[in-house]
Amino acid sequence: MTNRTIIVGAGQAGAQTAQSLRQCRYDGEIVLIGDEDAAPYQRPPLSKAYLKGELDKERLYLRPAAFYETNTISLKLSTRVTTIDRTEKTIETDAGETLAYDNLVLATGAPPRRLPITGVDLGGVYYLRTLRDSETLRAILSVAGRIVVVGAGYIGLEVAAVARAAGREVSVIEIADRVLARVACPEMSEFYQNLHVEHGVDLRLGEGVSAINGAGGAVASVRLNGDETLDCAAVLIGVGAAPNIALAQAAGLAVDNGIVVDDRLQTSDPSIWAVGDCTNYPSSVYGRRLRLESVPNAIEQGKIAAANIAGENKAYDAIPWFWSDQYDVKLQTVGLGDLADDRVLRGDPAAKSFSIWSFTSGKLCAVDAVNDPVAFAVGKKAFATNADMARDRVADASVDLRALIS
């Protein structure tokens, strides 16, 4: 009988797994199942270039349609997997179809968290995750009235930047006392707070939204926790994402802030793998389990899972990296600095070109580079080669960073 691998989730991680299986000379059947009606596409441009209308839709797609046919990858779109039967090794879809698998890959992603307040179902209230979300949100950039962005993470701030560039009045409401609180150090938060205020954003920190008010079925205003009311024409909710673990949990797989996997990306069932934003994996570099929401993580996990399904024995422990584009500023981050106990600033934030080097017990743990591609490249190479980045030499502005890894 022909071996079959079913991949649930046709985002970046799922599509990469399918592609890498063929690159690893896997000759079994591949079935890639996605609940959207679009073939696999890039998500980062949805809050940046595509939202601004600067990127054609065709350039969003990860591969042309012919790729899946040429590589004999069965692509099932607008299809949702409803159950996994681990005993029979089958899945069932919402169309009533039952498919057997030899290997099952869960790439179910991390949909946006929903705000538990009244008014979230009104017209003009948006979340941003899908192609359709971005296309709908794009239309409001030319409509008069304030846009309220709830949440000052990457997506919220990126949309705020696009809206301000389009001439819209924007208020950003953030419950934490600084922007990017989950993903950036305080110094980087301060830079982005100043950047958005300079561009005319009404930034409200330490404030939440208690209700969204409507008129005629459409949003009319938001009420803040302090009872102030802001009139608005649209609301974007960007308060983080939650791993989609429902299918795995119902199947009895181990879950804990994501689908728990080992370093080979196998779940608690050796026939089931998980990749991308939904996974909780062990990192030997950081000595703890991680769940990351990033394109590089999705791509590399897809490659490793595919290699292991194809019979290799590879461990996943890539160094995380991320990026964000806001106004004329590009932030590039490598590593994780959430547990840093020391930081070094190189460059000048006022000139919008600088880097922050984070250390834990004297060891480099992250580099945040703003409009500084050299610092980012050096940081990536330092992690890749395990270079000894001495804190004092990094802090010495007279030392060329590239000399530290030569």
Residues with Cβ within 8 Å of 218's Cβ and at least 6 positions away in sequence, in order, are 122, 123, 124
Distance, in Å, from the CA atom of 297 to the CA atom of 41, rounded to the nearest integer, reads 16
- Are 384 and 319 a contacting pair, CB within 8 Å? yes
What angle do the packed helices 154-165 and 186-198 form, to 10 degrees? 20
Per-position pLDDT tens, the chain of length 406? 479 999 999 999 999 999 999 999 999 999 999 999 999 999 999 999 999 999 999 999 999 999 999 999 999 999 999 999 999 999 999 999 999 999 999 999 999 999 999 999 999 999 999 999 999 998 888 888 999 999 999 999 999 999 999 999 999 999 999 999 999 999 999 999 999 999 999 999 999 999 999 999 999 999 999 899 999 999 999 999 999 999 999 999 999 999 999 999 999 999 999 999 999 999 998 999 999 999 999 999 999 999 999 999 999 999 999 999 999 999 999 999 999 999 999 999 999 999 999 999 999 999 999 999 999 999 999 999 999 899 999 999 999 999 988 7
* Pairing mode, strands 272-274 and 202-205: unpaired
Q: Distances from the Cα of 85 to the Cαs of 1, 269, 333, in angstroms?
A: 20, 12, 40
Collapsing DSSP to helix, strand or coil, 214 comes out as strand
Q: Are 272 and 264 in contact (CB under 8 A)?
A: no
Contact 207, 226 (CB under 8 A): yes
Helix residue ranges per DSSP H, 242-338: 246-250, 295-309
Tokens of 292: 């990351």
Give the type of residue at 140: I
In order of their start, the domains of the chain are 4-111+242-309 (3.50.50.60), 125-237 (3.50.50.60), 328-404 (3.30.390.30)
The kind and range of the H/E element at 320 are none
Phi, psi of 298 (to 5 degrees): -60, -45
Q: Which residue has the tokens 């017209």?
A: 123
Q: 80: exposed, middle or buried (C-beta count within 10 Å: 0-12, 13-18, 19+)?
A: middle
Are the CB atoms for 162 and 142 separated by under 8 Å?
A: no
- Asked if 345 and 366 count as a contact pair (C-beta separation under 8 A), the reply is no
